[in-house]
Amino acid sequence: MVPRTSRRLRAVGALTAAVATALATASLPGVASAAPTRYEAENAALSQGVVESNHAGFSGSGFVNVDNVVGSSVEFTATAAQAGPATLTVRYANGGAENRPADISVNGVVVQDDLAFPSTGAWTTWTSLATTAQLAPGANKIRITSAGATGAANVDYLDVDAAGVPASDYESESATIAQGVVESNWAGFSGTGFVNYDNVVGSSVEYTVTAAQAGAHVLTFRFANGTTVSRPLAVNANGGAATTVAFPPTGAWTTWQTAAVTLPLVAGANKVRAVSTTAEGGPNADKLSIAFSGPADTERPQPPTGLRSTGKTSTTVSLAWNAGSDNVGVTGYDVYQHGQLVTSVGNVLQATATGLVPDTEYDWTVFSKDAAGNVSAASSNVLVRTDPAPADTVPPTTPGTLRSTGKTATSVDLAWTASTDNVGVTGYDVFRDGVQSGTADGNATSTTSAGLTAGTEYTFKVRARDAKGNVSGFGNEVKVTPSAGGPSGTPDPGAVSTLASGVDVAWGVVFLPDGSALFSERETFSVYRLTKSGQKTLAGKISQAVGTDGEGGLLGLEVSPTFATDHWLYVYHTASEGNRVVRIKYENGALVQNTYQILLQGLAKNRYHNGGRLRFGPDGKLYISSGDAQNSANAQNNSSLNGKVLRINADGSIPSDNPFGNAVWSKGHRNPQGLDFDSQGRLWEAEFGNTSQDEVNLITKGGNYGWPNCEGTGGSCAGFIAPKKVWATNVASPSGLTIINDHVFVATTVGQRVYRMTIDGGGNLVDQKIYFQGTYNRLRTVEVDRDGDIWLTTTTDKDGTPNNDRVLLVDVVYAGGRTSSPVLRGFPAA
């Protein structure tokens, strides 16, 4: 084997070899010492790997060296006599200098994501590390899959100990103590002492314990009680509901016994608190032991009911709800405002959102969650309008020094000096020839006025406004005459016309060989054909589609690369069980209902975060953007299809070169939507952020884009792939994305504008321009047709008022003249 030097360190907490060895070999109390079953790697099933014997120190007849790619794997078949937890110990060697992470899955479910396999110093130095997992009775498939581009470590064997998972001990003297002291005056304790609770109600000991996986755990307390009465404690985990546990007399303070309770823990760190409930205080506390009792909890909670507003001000809303339910127990709630996580609370039934805008309607929902990270569907929603702000009659100051900073044949770039206000400037009104032609947000000091005529002089002026509608005076006027200019082939938006009005949340747009388009209506589940002359005809409905009272329904469309011969239309829609990708034939102007085929299921749905864009790549594969379904844990779970960019073959099968053995192509996404390919075949994606930053990403195979650890460039972003462009969420919310001549166009909903950026030679986005801000309401979809013109869909409000939306045509002018074949994504053959 050739030593590997090129490494990509993943965002994991790397274990040192010494710690890994200790984890595998430590003798822990209370554990049966039955020998584990050994499975040699050379007898396992390999994918992109070989059996070798050129490095000494292995057991058996050899070891496995997997290929240096993401997704190479070794799969063991291990037998368990009964269902239950097991310790999995991997013996490996890593002669490289850095970590070689791998995903550990059992029966297709990832139990350890990006588990660190740190350097052992040499390929002949073998060490072990251990993890825990739940096994099924009979045969189990245990797979080690490389998570980095240079493959996993060399694997010698897997030991499986199904006798049980060792308990972990936590000494009370090392815990956080309130109204108690550490003592050592009674013999028989473990560690360096024990805790003597003060004789009052409320004295407590709080342990920080680590669980290898989420689910039910047995918590065993070692204690002594030399009195004649019980000293009960109220025990809770992570602020959840408390369970009262009896601690009866033990006969003497030197006689130690145990009492146990079963509570749900989350994977990772947990706070376990034991609080005295009587004036006698608690028993003497020696230590706490925890053990996973399984099985793993995969059942999602039921949503809370009775969501209601309990109070409001101009900047706050207080909410309350009735408890959700769960098979193990609800541990907390997430509060969302129209798809954005606003706050999370523990197991309490109320929350207050702050920092809101006065006199604004907000749409609230709440989600239950449990210790295993399962999240419910959304509660019913409640609409609450904040109170008006206190009276404000002071207008902003006049913006200064309006000037032209550039022009093309169809547009003029404007800039000005910012206004000020006693409360805050919320926006600018841009006037062209005396009529308001657009807006800019309160933080902006520039805009682009598009759709102009070359050689015609225009007069511009700008004024500022605040939240109460007070407006400043106009600053200076500037006269500008658009003229041809800019690099040859640069696409500049020109005149805008309406192709169709009276539509209902037009979402997906795709073009047919004859130049007409098909578009989907999210709420009605209808597909229409629309010509460039504005002729609209119904092609049919997707009767299997359902709504979510939010952002689900009939979403993305795409046509087969060989549509001229096979007539396949690809559709992403919400269905009864979740989101689906399907295909159906479009022939003779209509959808052929009996050709409906499901290609991909298993995508969870929720009120928001359903993703939904489709795009065929130059490789002939279908790429799909899938939201996290308002469960951020999905985004980092390789086995979940949510929070991902997916990739499948045209017939729905999984390409053999996908990085994780399923439909997942990249992960760590919140609510990705827009997808398109540039002239080099690279995939670009637009993604909704939560509360701080929206993103445009350059997608790579197996790439991890950070959500929920990282939003845009904020949070714990080390080790994740950084976005190529970010915006504040109040000026973007990017939905659609298309690319013309390596210029990326992004349509935004909250920002009510189109961004245009240039892809430079280094793969970065530069020279941003903003078009149509505040002119056509919420812009949802942007697509380029065969002629190089842009089709825009626009909605008047966030969820769409029936028959109140439009499809627009933007005439695109190319600097230096329109080319006969602008560089667009590949259209299906005519």
pLDDT in tens, 330-367: 889 999 999 899 999 988 999 999 999 899 999 999 99
Mean pLDDT calculated for residue range 491-497: 93
Tell me phi and psi for residue 722, to 5 degrees: -80, 145
Give how far Cα 493 sits from Cα of 342, 448, 451, 453, 459, Å.
36, 10, 6, 11, 19
Mean pLDDT calculated for residue range 8-33: 31
Does residue 117 surpass a pLDDT of 70?
Answer: yes
- pLDDT bracket for residue 291 (50, 70, 90): confident
Interior angle at CA 155, CA 151 and CA 158, nearest 5: 130
In order of their start, the domains of the chain are 17-161 (2.60.120.260), 168-292 (2.60.120.260), 305-385 (2.60.40.10), 400-480 (2.60.40.10), 491-814 (2.120.10.30)
Handedness of CA 130, 131, 134, 135 (dihedral sign): negative
The pLDDT of residue 825 is: 53
Residues 6+ apart with CB under 8 A from 135: 78, 80, 83, 84, 85, 86, 106, 160, 162
Q: 171-180, 419-428, 634-643, 790-799: lowest mean pLDDT where?
A: 790-799
- pLDDT bracket for residue 329 (50, 70, 90): confident
Per residue in 594-631, pLDDT (tens digit) is 999 999 999 999 999 999 999 999 999 999 999 999 99
The pLDDT of residue 31 is: 33
> Are the beta carbons of 318 and 384 closer than 8 angstroms?
no
Tell me phi and psi for residue 418, to 5 degrees: -60, 145
The pLDDT of residue 27 is: 30
Does residue 127 surpass a pLDDT of 90?
Answer: no
SS3 for 313-329 is CCCCEEEEEECCCCCCC
Buried residues in 312-333 as b, exposed as e (16+ CB within 10 A): beeeebbbbbebbebebbbbbb
* Cis peptide bond N-terminal to 3, omega within 30: no
Strand, coil or helix: 374: coil
Q: Are strands 102-106 and 138-146 parallel, antiparallel or unpaired?
A: antiparallel
What H or E segment, with its residue span, contains residue 332?
strand 330-337
Tell me phi and psi for residue 565, to 5 degrees: -110, -30
Model pTM greater than 0.95? no
What is the rounded CA–CA span in Å between residue 315 and residue 261?
43
Residues 6+ apart with CB under 8 A from 456: 481, 482
The pLDDT of residue 590 is: 98
The pLDDT of residue 7 is: 27
- pLDDT bracket for residue 801 (50, 70, 90): low
Mean pLDDT calculated for residue range 94-110: 87
Per residue in 64-101, pLDDT (tens digit) is 999 988 899 999 998 877 667 788 889 999 988 888 88
What is the rounded CA–CA span in Å between residue 585 and residue 569?
6
Does residue 21 surpass a pLDDT of 60?
Answer: no
The pLDDT of residue 2 is: 32
The pLDDT of residue 15 is: 28
- DSSP lists the bridge partners of residue 687 as 672, 695
Per residue in 248-272, pLDDT (tens digit) is 999 999 999 999 998 988 877 889 9
The pLDDT of residue 167 is: 57
What is the rounded CA–CA span in Å between residue 70 and residue 153?
12
> Are the beta carbons of 535 and 592 closer than 8 angstroms?
no
Query: How confident is the prediction for the chain on average, in pLDDT?
Result: 89
Does residue 247 surpass a pLDDT of 90?
Answer: yes
Percent of the chain scoring above 70 in pLDDT: 92
DSSP per-residue letters across 409-468: SS-EEEEEEPP--SS-EEEEEEEETTEEEEEEETT--EEEE-S--TT--EEEEEEEEETT
Amino acid occupying residue 712? G
The pLDDT of residue 823 is: 55
Does residue 765 surpass a pLDDT of 90?
Answer: yes
The pLDDT of residue 486 is: 63
Does residue 830 surpass a pLDDT of 70?
Answer: no
- pLDDT bracket for residue 25 (50, 70, 90): very low
> Are the beta carbons of 555 and 527 closer than 8 angstroms?
no
Give how far Cα 307 sits from Cα of 304, 335, 367, 477, 764, Å.
7, 11, 11, 52, 45
The pLDDT of residue 19 is: 30
Greater confidence (207 vs 1) lies with 207
Does residue 168 surpass a pLDDT of 90?
Answer: no
DSSP state at residue 5: -
Does residue 299 surpass a pLDDT of 90?
Answer: no
Mean pLDDT calculated for residue range 181-205: 96
Q: What is the largest CA-CA distance in the chain?
A: 101
The pLDDT of residue 519 is: 98
Burial class (CB in 10 A: 0-12, 13-18, 19+), 656: exposed
Burial class (CB in 10 A: 0-12, 13-18, 19+), 378: buried
Does residue 758 surpass a pLDDT of 60?
Answer: yes
Tokens 């280094």 locate to: 762
What is the rounded CA–CA span in Å between residue 621 and residue 617?
6
The pLDDT of residue 822 is: 57
Interior angle at CA 504, CA 498 and CA 509, nearest 5: 65
Residues 6+ apart with CB under 8 A from 22: none
Per residue in 390-448, pLDDT (tens digit) is 899 999 999 999 999 999 889 999 999 999 999 999 999 999 999 999 999 999 999 99
Tokens 């002071």 locate to: 394
Tell me phi and psi for residue 18, to 5 degrees: -65, -45
What is the rounded CA–CA span in Å between residue 751 and residue 746?
11
Tell me phi and psi for residue 731, to 5 degrees: -120, 10
Mean pLDDT calculated for residue range 776-789: 95
What is the rounded CA–CA span in Å between residue 535 and residue 804?
18
Tell me phi and psi for residue 208, to 5 degrees: -100, 110
What H or E segment, with its residue span, contains residue 215?
strand 215-224
What is the rounded CA–CA span in Å between residue 557 and residue 555?
7
Mean pLDDT calculated for residue range 175-195: 96
The pLDDT of residue 141 is: 92
DSSP per-residue letters across 235-262: EEETT---EEE-----SSTT--EEEEEE
- DSSP lists the bridge partners of residue 558 as 570
Does residue 821 surpass a pLDDT of 60?
Answer: no
Amino acid occupying residue 370? D
Does residue 693 surpass a pLDDT of 80?
Answer: yes
Does residue 164 surpass a pLDDT of 90?
Answer: no
Tokens 């929720």 locate to: 606
Buried residues in 608-640 as b, exposed as e (16+ CB within 10 A): bbbbbbbbbbeeebbbbbbbbbbbbbbbbbbbb
Amino acid occupying residue 119? S
Residue 458 has which token pair? 């225009």
Does residue 370 surpass a pLDDT of 90?
Answer: no
> Are the beta carbons of 292 and 165 closer than 8 angstroms?
yes
Q: Are strands 754-759 and 305-312 parallel, antiparallel or unpaired?
A: unpaired
Tokens 């109320």 locate to: 350
The pLDDT of residue 5 is: 29
Does residue 826 surpass a pLDDT of 60?
Answer: no
> Are the beta carbons of 778 and 796 closer than 8 angstroms?
yes
Does residue 231 surpass a pLDDT of 70?
Answer: yes
What is the rounded CA–CA span in Å between residue 561 and residue 258?
68
Handedness of CA 515, 521, 522, 525 (dihedral sign): negative
Does residue 10 surpass a pLDDT of 50?
Answer: no
